[in-house]
Chains A and B, each alone.
Chain A
Amino acid sequence: MSMPNTGKSVKLLFAGPQGAGKTTAMSAISDVPPLSTDVAIASGSLSDRNTTTMAFDYATVSLRSNEILHLYGLPGQESLDFMGDIVGRGAVGALLLLDASSPHLTEDYAYWINALKKIASGVKIVVGVTKVDVVEWFSIQEIRRCAADNGAYSAPVLTVDPRDYLQIIQLVSLLLLTI
């Protein structure tokens, strides 16, 4: 797959841990389904998903005047070290999706905020917390506390459903307004 010229285009990143809904969110707003590098998860995995993204997802949104918004779904932590610099270069913003049902929610938040700052310096971030409905007693305070305790970048945090076009547009809109 040839990489598009991002010099005259806008690049948005979709980041977050495995299963947070990056590919789903990209699918919700892209013109065509993302080109994925999903592979089957080995049997015995605790997750109820059948696939995971090994490298990255790529999709586009056609703007007027034949210009393109490029959407990149970053890989999980294992592949981020060698893929991050390439995919992150020139990105103007990132949607960080976090899985509310994960026992590592706050660790994921801290890791991805720092990773995004490292691979795309100056990038603006909006955080979407997914799967809130499957958590019996969800609290957004944990993430807010984590941000305050670590002195982390103060990114907006919203609860979202990545399958819902309008909710992903809301995240993208907020991101655009913060740039």
Chain B
Amino acid sequence: MGVQLATAGISHELEIKISLACNLLHACDLSIDLRPWIDGSCDAVVVDLNDRFGRLVYDMAVRRQLRILAFTTEHNLVDPGTKTLERDISVVAIAMTLREILGGKIRLNSRGNLPGLLGITQRVHGFDEPTVARCGSLEVMLRPSAGRIHFTSRSDIDAAKNRLVDKSWAVSRVKKISIDKQAWANSFSLDGFLIGSCRRHEEFLPVFGEQEYRLTVWPDLGGLIEDVDVLRMTVALHALSWSVTGLANHLGISATRANSFFSATLASGTLERVPKSIHAELGSHFPITSSIQNRVPALLKKVACHFKVRI
């Protein structure tokens, strides 16, 4: 059974947003049972303080020391322990606040299974046969060994990015002969799609532990323009094995950012877990303390500066 979340005084529009936020949290294994407030038997409440019933439930929840998310524009009038949001906030922001209230981040399980479309991509890695994945009426075609993802329309691309970690993705394998290639004409780099999409959901991805990973193949970063951090992570992970926190510290980026890159490349099959014994061997050949800056002549640094590349 999941977390019991009760709502009170919430408008229909806001209820839809909260419901979508709960679905997002499902993707990172935070299961939420959302229902209206009845008798106070719940783990947390979501209330609108502009509504009289919402205000009443809020006062009861404070007395019972329940976890509370309140929608209000008057943030200074609530109990200090209450999280507040404004009504026009995005679904993602609601999901992030709920997760903050209801529990911490979810760790990647021992089998390294990823959620949603990421998980499907991970499972079909290396397949020569195309695979169609569906999420409601949305369809994408994965060609894992070709490193490509196909869509039937350009608008589906953004929709697929938005639903990347949705748990309702299902898979059906198709034979090459039955594919209408013209219908799937919108094609992109699978690596590029996953890296860009994971960035959008980086707060909701399972957290990698201290285990080290390494890129065994250069990912196709086509389409990931103006993202030097992705290039830096790619180069570092191709040269050496790293943990998420180790890489984040080395490059001076957030662990969340590094974690999203690990998720995308693990799903596409370019990233592999490195056993400790092999890591020790690699470490003796490539000292981790070596800095790329020590090897770059001054003029090359100027070229990098001209193109706004941080090296």
Bound complex: CA of A8 vs CA of B297, how far in Å? 11
Bound complex: CA of A169 vs CA of B307, how far in Å? 7
Closest to B221 in A: A158
- Contact assessment for A140 and B147 in the assembled complex, using a CB-CB cutoff below 8 Å: yes
Bound complex: CA of A176 vs CA of B304, how far in Å? 7
- Is A45 among interface residues, defined by CB-CB distance under 8 A? no
- Is A144 among interface residues, defined by CB-CB distance under 8 A? yes
- Contact assessment for B231 and A144 in the assembled complex, using a CB-CB cutoff below 8 Å: no
Report the contact-size class of chain A (Cβ under 8 Å from the partner).
35 or more
Closest to B189 in A: A159
Bound complex: CA of A136 vs CA of B222, how far in Å? 17
- Contact assessment for B148 and A166 in the assembled complex, using a CB-CB cutoff below 8 Å: no
Chain B 138-149 interface 0/1 with A at a Cβ cutoff of 8 Å (1 = within):
000001011110
* Chain A interface, >50% SS class: mixed
Bound complex: CA of A176 vs CA of B297, how far in Å? 11
For A166, what are the chain B residues with a Cβ–Cβ distance below 8 Å? 225-226
Taking CB atoms and an 8 Å cut-off, the chain A residues in 146-179 that contact chain B are 154-160, 164, 166-167, 169-170, 172-174, 176-179
The interface size of chain B toward A, counting residues with CB under 8 Å, comes to 38
Bound complex: CA of A157 vs CA of B220, how far in Å? 6
- Is A141 among interface residues, defined by CB-CB distance under 8 A? yes
Chain B 214-253 interface 0/1 with A at a Cβ cutoff of 8 Å (1 = within):
0001101111111010011011001000000000000000
- Contact assessment for A177 and B146 in the assembled complex, using a CB-CB cutoff below 8 Å: no
- Is B309 among interface residues, defined by CB-CB distance under 8 A? yes
Closest to A148 in B: B217
Known: A141-B146, A141-B147, A177-B232. 18 other contacts (CB 8 A): A10-B300, A10-B303, A63-B302, A65-B302, A67-B302, A69-B303, A133-B187, A136-B181, A138-B148, A155-B218, A157-B220, A158-B222, A159-B223, A169-B225, A170-B221, A170-B226, A176-B307, A179-B300
> What would 19 A/B residue contacts be, using CB atoms closer than 8 Å?
A8-B299, A64-B305, A92-B300, A137-B181, A139-B145, A141-B147, A144-B147, A158-B221, A159-B189, A164-B225, A172-B303, A173-B228, A173-B307, A174-B231, A174-B234, A176-B303, A176-B311, A177-B232, A177-B311
Binding site for B on A (CB under 8 A): 8-10, 29, 61, 63-65, 67, 69, 92, 129, 132-133, 136-141, 144, 154-160, 164, 166-167, 169-170, 172-174, 176-179
